[in-house]
Amino acid sequence: MQKYAQFNLGNIKLLSGKVLKSAKLIYKTYGKLNKDQSNVILLPTFYTGTHKRNEGFIGKNRAINPNKYFIVSINMFGNGLSSSPSNTIKSQKGSEFPEITLWDNIYCQHKLITKKLKIKKIALVAGWSMAGCQSYQWAAQYPNIVKAILPFCASSKTSIHNHVFLEGIKAALITDANWKNGKYKKQPIAGLKAFGRVYAGWAFSQDFYRKKLYKKIGYENVKNLLDDWGNDHAKNWDANDLLCKLKTWQLNDISNSPIYKGNYIKALKSIKAKTILMPCNQDLYFRTEDNVYEKKFINRASLRPVDSPYGHCAANPGNDKSFQKKLDKNISELLI
């Protein structure tokens, strides 16, 4: 089986005006494209996700079924696979990597879909968290290509509170003396561990901890969970990569583009795709209220909030079977 594929973009002019040199997208496909190209599902990646993590949303007994659909899973810039501070050319490596927006990501993903894969229509763009943010971006940036979107635990514009939350975890990372303004020779391990430990307080709800649900996902106690989250970030992530994507997240705004020029309501109204918004009411940073506001302006949108003590991580595959069941039901509805 194909491990993954690479699409070379060359030099790409970014929304900021700067140039991302020798840009590349790493992606993987599942299933087969049918003759009329009506079975395409696009899955962008989430903040600490890769195409591999997206496989948790795919299955022969799931709504996103590779026996029925042609699934394209595209890695976001900054995730260590597609162009990132850790893997780019020397002149843009590390702290020299340019600022990337979701506009830039989707502009390049569109090139992959249309130029490389020769696809003209996308049946569904769906995703969790930052992947969901990319589904809105797709629908606003290329409204005539996307038939349906399902962002879950996501928003079309990063709220001020969400921005502040991200500043907190960023501060935990860069306080490490080894950070050196991103010009470190060795990873700032203490900072990465602090980043993960702080994040753990936001990823789940208060009820998750009150009811000791961490025991249901393999942790004997809170210390084990905190240690694991800290160690996971220290072992698996480059600090500059994490902060590159964090900045992309903070800049998330579908109206930040040459098309809408900051007119957020116009951008929402431009979305033609049939839309299901699926927030978790216990999510501490992608709040249901943001989706309630969006629904007022997205013409074909319905709001399907879910209650889960797992909070933002209700969507993480394997955590909450009830959330997964509702997600698959909503996806199936959009693919009819």
Q: Which of 86, 129, 155, 205 is catalytic?
A: 129
Cα 289 to Cα 286: distance, rounded to the nearest angstrom: 9
Q: How far is CA 246 from CA 56, 59, 149, 183, 304, in A?
A: 23, 30, 23, 18, 27
> In whole angstroms, what separates CA 220 from the centre of its chain?
29
What are the two backbone dihedrals, phi and then psi, of residue 79, each rounded to the nearest 5 degrees?
-95, 10
Burial tier of 67 (Cβ tally within 10 Å: 0-12, 13-18, 19+): exposed
Contact 275, 333 (CB under 8 A): no
Catalytic residue selected from 283, 290, 308, 320: 283
Angle between helices 160-174 and 189-203 (to 10 degrees): 150
Measured CA to CA, the distance from residue 316 to residue 329 in angstroms comes to: 17
Q: How far apart are CA 310 and CA 206, in angstroms?
A: 9
Taking the CA atoms of residue 208, residue 212, residue 213 and residue 215 in that order, the dihedral angle to the nearest 10 degrees is: 150
- DSSP bridge pairs for 19: 13
Q: List 274's β-bridge partners, or say none.
A: 148
Sign of CA dihedral 176, 181, 186, 191: positive
CA–CA gap between residue 168 and residue 165 (Å, rounded):
5
* Catalytic site includes residue 283: yes
DSSP codes, 99-124: P--HHHHHHHHHHIIIIIS----BSE
For this structure, is 129 an active site residue? yes
Q: 245: buried, middle or exposed (CB in 10 Å: 19+, 13-18, 0-12)?
A: buried
Verify whether residue 73 is a known catalytic residue. no
Asked whether 166 and 133 are in contact (CB, 8 A), the reply is no
Active site amino acids: 129, 283, 312
